[in-house]
Amino acid sequence: MPQIQTTLLEKLDLVAVAFSVIGVVLWAGLTGPFRGGSGPQSYKQWLITALVRKLTTRLSRNQMQSIGKPFSQTYQEWCKTNKADPAIVTLPSGCKGLWIGDHVKADYVFIFFHAGGFSFDGDVMHFEYGRAVMEELAKDNISSAFFFLEYTMVPYATYPTQLIEAIEAVNHVLSSGRAPSEIVLMGDSAGANLCLGILSHTAHPSPRLPPLQLSAPFKAAVLISPWIQFSPRQASTKQNQYKDFLTASNSTRWGIDYLAGVKSDYYAEAFNTPSNWWSGVKVSYVIATAGADEVLVDSISEWADRFKVSQSVRTFSSA
């Protein structure tokens, strides 16, 4: 990804941001005991959500990206800490794929797309999560590996570039000799958005996207809090506005930035799809999760109900 360029004003503004954040945390600390049902059950969660909401609202995208690290750098640091050998693949488009686990001998490969509204890179928690999944599966004598995609961030690329790169990642794993039945698509938030874009492409191939030739359905798709609607307007949007990290205004802003003037479609916003859109999707199992305190929980539940109408997949959803 290109070097993040921040203006002098943006750099100086970080000082003001620091004081602003301190003020928000102090205020949250004072008001937390009186949050009632409008806030998270945990006092700690109340403080954390207030902090993250303030940072993502107050900081510009450039500022957020400048204080973060590229996903591949985070990966190399994680590998060093965990005494693992980095395995980085450069895909034809130039973006990188990051392996953890023995993908040659693994029974299943998880292709993981990280969250961040397409504006922020993945974090160390994604690698920790992947390792935790691998360890749990190993208890049942199931070996697995994870392939994380470092897709291009907004504003350096916009829709449908990230979806094109995600399909490229799938094609790379397929070309290594993997059968689709040994592949699990997985992602959180914006990453789950990409999973759904890929599934849409399996049922309705788009000429705007790279070809995806599947000899069989994918084993599964795991959608963690999928970002399926950019401008949510359901009841949970207001009910959970002080409980979730995500805000309706941030979601709308990031969606506008991602589309960059291109009209939204079913590959970008799965919420807008009719039930029959999914009837030919090539996947054996789909798991969609949403937390009860999330802004998008109603959107996800409504979409899941329509998705279940399809008889071609077995679906499970939880809130």
Class of domain 70-318: alpha beta
pLDDT at 1 over 60: no
CB atoms within 10 A of CB 235: 10
Please report, to the nearest 10 degrees, the dihedral formed by the alpha carbons of residues 186, 110, 274, 244 taken in order. -10
- Of 24-33, 89-98, 136-145, 254-263, which gets the smallest average pLDDT? 24-33
Helix (H, G, I), strand (E, B) or coil at 197: helix
pLDDT at 172 over 90: yes
**CA–CA distance, 112 with 150 (Å, rounded to integer):** 10
By the 8 A CB rule, do 98 and 70 touch?
no
What was the pLDDT predicted at 6?
63
**CA–CA distance, 188 with 274 (Å, rounded to integer):** 22
pLDDT at 307 over 60: yes
Break the chain into its structural domains and give their ranges. 1-68, 70-318
Using only C-alpha atoms, the chain has a radius of gyration, in whole angstroms, of 20
Q: Which helix (H) or strand (E) holds 284?
A: strand 283-289
Please report, to the nearest 10 degrees, the dihedral formed by the alpha carbons of residues 51, 54, 55, 60 taken in order. 180
Tell me the percentage of the chain whose pLDDT exceeds 90. Answer: 71
Where does the pLDDT of residue 40 fall: very low under 50, low under 70, confident under 90, or very high at 90 and above?
confident
What pTM value is reported for the model? Answer: 0.89
113-146 burial: b if 16+ Cβ within 10 Å, else e: bbbbbbbbbbbeebbebbbebbeebeeeeeebbb
Of 140, 86, 83, 134, the residue nearest 112 (C-alpha): 134
pLDDT digit string (tens) for 42-66? Answer: 887 767 677 677 667 766 777 777 7
Tell me the pLDDT of the chain averaged across its residues. Answer: 89
Query: Could you tell me where the DSSP H helices lie in the chain?
Result: 8-31, 43-58, 61-67, 71-81, 124-138, 161-175, 190-203, 235-239, 248-259, 297-307
pLDDT digit string (tens) for 104-132? Answer: 999 999 999 999 999 999 999 999 999 99
